[in-house]
Structure 1
Amino acid sequence: MYRIKKVLNHNTIIGIQTENHQEYLIMGKGIGFGKKVSERVEVREEDAIYSLQASTDRGDARELVKEISPECLEIANEVLDEAEKIFGKIDRSILFPMADHIEFAIKRMKNGEQISNPLTEDIRILFHMEFKAASCIAPILARKMNLRIDEDEVGYIALHIHSAIEDEKVSQAMQMARAVRECISLVEEEIGRPIDVMSLSYNRLMNHIRYMVARAISGEQLKVNMNDYMGIKFPQAFQTAKVICERVGKSLKCNLSEVEIGYLAMHIERVTSDERESSDNK
C-alpha cells in the first residue's frame, strides 16, 4: 500500500510506502487519475515502481524526478520495458538518467538542433541488441510527440541500456566505443583503406578490442603470451598492434598488458589478409 505524496499526471505518481516510509515513483495506466495527495493506492502487478533513494551519475533520483517531465519518465519506462523483453531482468534505476537524456534530446529536436555522434556505427555493432532495444524509442516519440529521432540519439540511448545490463557506467561504455573506433581507424590507416564492417573478421576484431579494453579497465590479465610468435611471423601486424596498445593505454589512462599485443596482432593480420583477398578478387 502507498500513500500519494504527489500526482505527476494520470499515469505517474510519487508515493510513500506505508511500511518503510520511503518514496517511490510509480507508473501505470490511470494510477493518478482523479487521485489526491494523501490518498492510499494499491499497486498493480503491471505497474512500474522505482525507488527514489537511488543515486545516479546525473544526481539523486529524488532531485531528478522534480526536473524531468512525467512524459519523459514514461517514455524511458517504455524503452526499459522493451529492453527487458530482450534481455530479461535489468537494473531499471537507469530510468532517471535515461529520462533526463531523453528530455534534452526532445528539446534539441524541437529546436531543430542535431548532435553528432561519430561513434554511432561502432555502438550499433558493439552493442547490437542494446541498439535494437533503443530503436523502439523512434515509434514512441513519433506517436506521443510527432517527433523524429535520429540514429545518433538512439546510439546514446543504447549506451544507457547497456549500462542497465552490464552494471557499467554510460561514460565507460562510451570510452570503450571511442577506444574501439581509435583502434579500427589505426588498422584502416595501416592497410590504406576502410574495412568492410559486415565482414566476420571485422566483427571478431571489434569484439576482441572491446574485451581488451574491458580487461584494461578491470586489470584482468591474459595467460598465454603469443608475442614472440606473432612478432616473428607477422612483424607488420605486430608493430601496428603495439602502437594501438600504447595509444589505447594513454587514452584509457592505464597500462595495457604487453601480452595483449600478440592477440591483437593476430586479429589485425586476419582482417588485413581478408581485405587483401577481397581486393584481389575484385
Structure 2
Amino acid sequence: MLIEKVLNNNVVITRNENGQEVVIMGRGLGFRMTAGKPVDQRKIEKIFTIDNNNEVDNRYRELVEAIPHEILLVTEQIIASAGRLLEGQLHPGIRVSLADHIHCAIERCIQGKCVKNAMLWEIKKFYGSEFSVGADAIVKIKQASGIQLNEDEAGFIALHLVNAQLNDDMHNTMDVTRLIHDIVSLIKYDLRIEMDENTVSYQRLMTHLRFFAHRLIHSDTVKSDDDSLFVSVRQEYPESFACVGKIYLYVEKQLSHYMTKEEMMFLTIHVERVRREHQIG
C-alpha cells in the first residue's frame, strides 16, 4: 500500500485493494513519510476503512487528525471490551463520540478542570455492567496516556455506552436515567421493598425499564388488540398492578403519555417478579 496523505506522525491515509480509502494507525507510521511512499507494515496497529458517503466515517476521519493516536487506540480497546461484555449492538458512532469525550476529559484533567458527574449514583445502580466497563476503561486510559481520570469519568463513559446501545444522544439518555430512577423509587416506596441488585429479576426489570423509558422519551408505544392477558395479569397480581397504576399517573403527569394496556401488563409482570423475590428473601 502506498501513502496518499500523512495526517500526523502516527496516522496515514492510503487505499486498499478495492480502492477504498483506508486510515492506518501506528506509532511513527507517518514520521518523515510523504505521499507515494510505501506503508511500513511492521508499524501498523489499526486499520479502518472509510466510506466517504457515511457521516460517521467522515467525522472519524476528521477526528484522527486532531486526537493523539494512543487515545484512538485505547478507545478501540474499550469498545471491543464493551462488545464482549454488554448485550446488544453498539452504534458505530460510539467510535467518534467516545474518542472525542476521552480526549476532552484528559485535556480537562490536565488543566485541573475535572467535571463532577451528578448522576454517578444512578449510573452505578441502573447501568452496572456499563459502569464496570467504564471503570476498566479508566485503567486502560491511564496505561495509554499516563493520566488518571476519576470515577466520575467512568460514569460518563458508561453513559456513552448506553447511548450506543439505545442509538440515542446524551441528553435523552440522561432523561431516561432520571425516569428510571423515579420509577424505581416509586416501586420501592409503594411496595415497601428493597431491591437486590444481584438478582435476575432486578436485572430484567432494569433492562425493561431502560427500553420502556427510551420509548416514553421518544413518544413510542407498544399496543395490542388482545386484552385477555392484560385482564389475567391485573387479576393475578393486584398489588403490582396497583403499583403500576401509580406509575401510569406519574408518566401521564410528567410526560403527557398514556401507558397502553400492553405496557402496563409487561411492567406489572416485572414488578411482580421483584416483589415476590423480596418476599422469599
TM over 0.5: yes
Identify which of 255, 275, 278 aligns with 1:275. Answer: 278
Opposite residue 182 of structure 1, the aligned amino acid is: D
The number of equivalent residue pairs is 271
* Residues 18 and 173 of structure 1: CA distance in aligned 2, closer, same or farther (over 3 Å): same
Residue pairs, 1:58-207, within 5 angstroms: 60-84=59-83, 92-110=92-110, 111-116=112-117, 117-118=119-120, 119-125=122-128, 128=129, 130-162=130-162, 166=165, 168-171=167-170, 173-192=173-192, 194-207=194-207
Q: Distance in 2 between matches of 1:63 and 1:7?
A: 10
Opposite residue 26 of structure 1, the aligned amino acid is: I
Identify which of 8, 24, 27 aligns with 1:26. Answer: 24
CA contact (8 A) 2:8 2:30 kept: yes
CA contact (8 A) 2:123 2:131 kept: no
Opposite residue 7 of structure 1, the aligned amino acid is: L
The normalised TM-score by structure 2 is: 0.74
Q: Distance in 1 between matches of 2:198 and 2:189?
A: 18
CA contact (8 A) 1:122 1:177 kept: no
CA contact (8 A) 2:24 2:47 kept: yes
* Residues 122 and 253 of structure 1: CA distance in aligned 2, closer, same or farther (over 3 Å): farther
Q: Distance in 2 between matches of 1:90 and 1:276?
A: 37
3-state SS, counterpart of residue 3 of structure 1:
coil
**1:242-278, CA deviations, whole angstroms, 9 ceiling, x for partnerless residues?**
2324544676775542222123123223323433454
Which segment drifts farther, 39-48 or 140-149?
A: 39-48
Residue pairs, 1:35-46, within 5 angstroms: 35-41=33-39
Q: Distance in 1 between matches of 2:64 and 2:104?
A: 14
3-state SS, counterpart of residue 7 of structure 1:
strand
Give the drift of 1:32: 2.3
3-state SS, counterpart of residue 149 of structure 2:
coil
CA contact (8 A) 1:7 1:32 kept: yes
Opposite residue 39 of structure 2, the aligned amino acid is: V
Give the drift of 1:101: 0.7
CA contact (8 A) 1:4 1:41 kept: no
* Residues 90 and 185 of structure 1: CA distance in aligned 2, closer, same or farther (over 3 Å): closer
The normalised TM-score by structure 1 is: 0.73
